Amino acid sequence: MGTVPSLIAEGFRCIIATPSHFCGFGMLTYPEIDPVAVVIGPLKVHWYGLMYVLGFAAAWRLALRRSTRPWSPIQRSQVEDLILYCAIGVVLGGRLGYMFFYKFSALLSDPLLLFRVWEGGMSFHGGFIGVMLAAALYARKIGSNFPALIDFVAPLVPIGLGLGRLGNFIGQELWGRETDGPWGMVFPKDPELLLRHPSQLYQAFLEGLVLFLVLWWFSRKPRPRLAVGGLFVLLYGVFRFVVEFARQPDGHIGFDLFGWITRGQLLSLPMIVAGIVLLIWSYRTQPVASAGKSDKNESPTEVSP
């Protein structure tokens, strides 16, 4: 144990060398995981991209299991095509949504920015719209009921969301706001080297694990049409709105309203309202699906879009 003068000297050294509010006491240590997961010759596979693959694989596996339920709107043989449609919707919608919701001015001045995907930039809300459109197209293709397909897909999504947030954490992007709490950590890529909320982990927990467990439990038995989809929309909107209070706003945007509402919160508010409306409408107007009946297309002949 050091002497009092040595401890005082160490304290001054800490204050001079680092921000005084964290000085190494009670803070979490960022694990500094290499954002590149695999290197194959000149090809570098980043953890964020790998998380997308793992998310689609998890959705495929869960969809195979759900397709055996009596009320499933699709057959087991149709699962792979459904996941492919949704994957395309996620990627295209996520990229377009990011450019329109977060970088519209830059897109207008440089339209080719849309195709420079290696520079990063994906939006959940854009991906959400993309999956909705993809599900609508696939439902039409196989002659299935679109709302029933949305209820089928909703519980498959959170695992991918959680994995994506872990990818953000490993890549040291979308970090949180400054905090004095012992759960804060310093991200080495942060130019200010502030003690910040690991908000990516908050999102992985709420939007990934918690949302999955709730939806999987809720959808284990038949529910009124669009009740499962409505619950997904509501809970995601609430979770995202809450976590945004700990997440650092985009530097080029800041706050959109009242000096405290972020772009993510602004985009999540309609989801909260839509989720509530869908749940009320579903339970008031839609019958509970019968375990002996489904909207599954039994014909092997597919309808051309």
The pLDDT of residue 9 is: 44
**pLDDT tens digits for range 174-191:** 999 999 999 999 999 999
With b for 16 or more beta-carbon neighbours within 10 A and e for fewer, the 171-189 pattern comes to bbebbbebbeeeebbbbee
The structure's pTM equals 0.84
18-27, 169-178, 189-198: the lowest-pLDDT one: 18-27
pLDDT band at 22 (very low <50, low <70, confident <90, very high): very low
pLDDT band at 299 (very low <50, low <70, confident <90, very high): very low
**Cβ 199 vs Cβ 175: under 8 Å:** yes
**pLDDT tens digits for range 96-134:** 998 988 888 888 888 888 888 777 788 999 999 999 999
